[in-house]
């Protein structure tokens, strides 16, 4: 990342002008990835190898610095709060990831303490422990984890999170590649049992955008994050249907900025420009890029 210092500095200036122009104190990004270094390297190797879970696409990662460089860059961008989205792909891993994430949050005060889960016998216990330890947001990855979010073993965890009002960002849409349990139907079963669950549908639910907007219409605590949606990259393979734009406007208080930083194949600024060009206006951008998350997380 150091070799492109000037370009990054220039981008940071543009990002700051974006939120400053809206009269915001900065951005809140609910979908950024921080994880133990060797796990992150494995994720990057996977993207480099165009693996099937990313639809076999060419996906050059833009921000491959050391952890300290990556957090410094978010601060340069003026991201006032962000998350450490991490997730297990097998049992016996979530508790360890949660330990790492708690430590990361302790040494990174602008990171919202993040935790994760997996359907396994002790999930209720470690989710409770994580909430008691101050976790502010959870991440669930239905595609990589290859589990049914309505799995019986997860019921105590969803119940606890709903009761505690702790949001969970869930990658549950079938993009960039479908999984056995992706799509709106399994999530609808979770919400039928836990209607107050503060579910944040990652990536606007791409490509099932309209089905997930429907869940947000139906459940007041369902929100969606913008991660990668509306960008040139996502529009090329899963375009957001223009006819649904008025629904985005109507749900303007339930859409949250997410970026997927650092694992994005384009500059951070492009996500912001992609939101801007939707043409939904400055009030909408202010809510999405900062105010909705500020309210949700008390920041």
Residues at the contact surface with Zn ion, assessed by CB under 5 A: 260
Long-range contacts of the stretch 18-21 (C-beta < 8 A, 24+)? 18/269, 18/272, 18/273, 18/276, 19/78, 19/289, 19/290, 20/78
99 Cβ contact partners less than 8 Å away, ≥ 6 residues apart: none
Cα dihedral sign, 106-82-114-221: positive
Least spacing, CB of residue 169 vs Zn ion, in Å: 8
Task: Specify the residue, 77 or 261, whose C-beta has the smaller distance to Zn ion.
Answer: 261
Task: Specify the residue, 11 or 260, whose C-beta has the smaller distance to Zn ion.
Answer: 260
Could you count the other beta carbons within 10 Å of the beta carbon of residue 79? Answer: 23
Which residue's C-beta sits nearest to Zn ion? 260
End-to-end CA distance of the chain: 30
Task: Specify the residue, 117 or 280, whose C-beta has the smaller distance to Zn ion.
Answer: 117
Task: Specify the residue, 151 or 260, whose C-beta has the smaller distance to Zn ion.
Answer: 260
CA dihedral 68, 81, 36, 41 (to 10 degrees): -70
Least spacing, CB of residue 10 vs Zn ion, in Å: 25
Task: Specify the residue, 86 or 150, whose C-beta has the smaller distance to Zn ion.
Answer: 86
Task: Specify the residue, 156 or 267, whose C-beta has the smaller distance to Zn ion.
Answer: 267
* CA atoms of 122 and 117, how far apart (whole Å): 10
Reduced to 3 states, what is the DSSP secondary structure of residue 80? strand
- Whether the CB-CB separation of 297 and 28 falls below 8 Å is answered with yes
4 Cβ contact partners less than 8 Å away, ≥ 6 residues apart: none
Q: What angle do CA 116, 117, 123 make, to 5 degrees?
A: 135
Least spacing, CB of residue 223 vs Zn ion, in Å: 15
Task: Specify the residue, 249 or 266, whose C-beta has the smaller distance to Zn ion.
Answer: 266
């Amino acid at each position: 990342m150091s070799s492109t210092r000037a370009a990054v500095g220039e981008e940071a200036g543009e990002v700051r002008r974006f939120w400053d122009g809206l009269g915001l104190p900065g951005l809140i990004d609910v979908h950024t990835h921080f994880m133990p270094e060797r796990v992150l390297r494995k994720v990057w190797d996977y993207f480099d190898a165009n693996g099937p879970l990313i639809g076999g696409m060419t996906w050059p990662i833009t921000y491959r610095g050391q952890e300290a460089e990556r957090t410094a860059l978010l601060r340069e961008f003026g991201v006032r709060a962000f998350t450490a989205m991490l997730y297990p792909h097998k049992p016996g891993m979530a508790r360890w990831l949660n330990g790492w994430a708690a430590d990361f949050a302790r040494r990174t005060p602008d990171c919202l303490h993040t935790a994760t889960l997996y359907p396994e016998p002790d999930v209720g216990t470690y989710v409770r422990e994580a909430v008691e330890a101050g976790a502010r947001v959870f991440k669930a990855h239905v595609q990589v984890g290859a589990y049914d979010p309505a799995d019986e073993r997860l019921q105590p965890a969803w119940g606890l999170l709903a009761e505690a009002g702790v949001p969970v960002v869930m990658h549950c849409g079938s993009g960039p590649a479908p999984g056995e349990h992706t799509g709106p139907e399994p999530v609808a079963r979770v919400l039928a049992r836990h209607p107050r669950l503060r579910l944040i549908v990652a990536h606007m639910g791409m490509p099932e955008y309209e089905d997930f907007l429907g869940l947000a219409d139906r459940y007041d605590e369902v929100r969606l994050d913008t991660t990668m949606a509306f960008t040139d990259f996502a529009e090329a393979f899963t375009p957001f249907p223009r006819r649904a734009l008025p629904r985005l406007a109507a749900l303007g208080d339930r859409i949250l900025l997410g970026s997927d930083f650092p694992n994005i194949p384009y500059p951070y600024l492009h996500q912001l420009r992609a939101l801007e060009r939707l043409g939904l206006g400055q009030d909408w951008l202010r809510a999405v890029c900062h105010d909705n998350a500020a309210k949700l997380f008390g920041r």
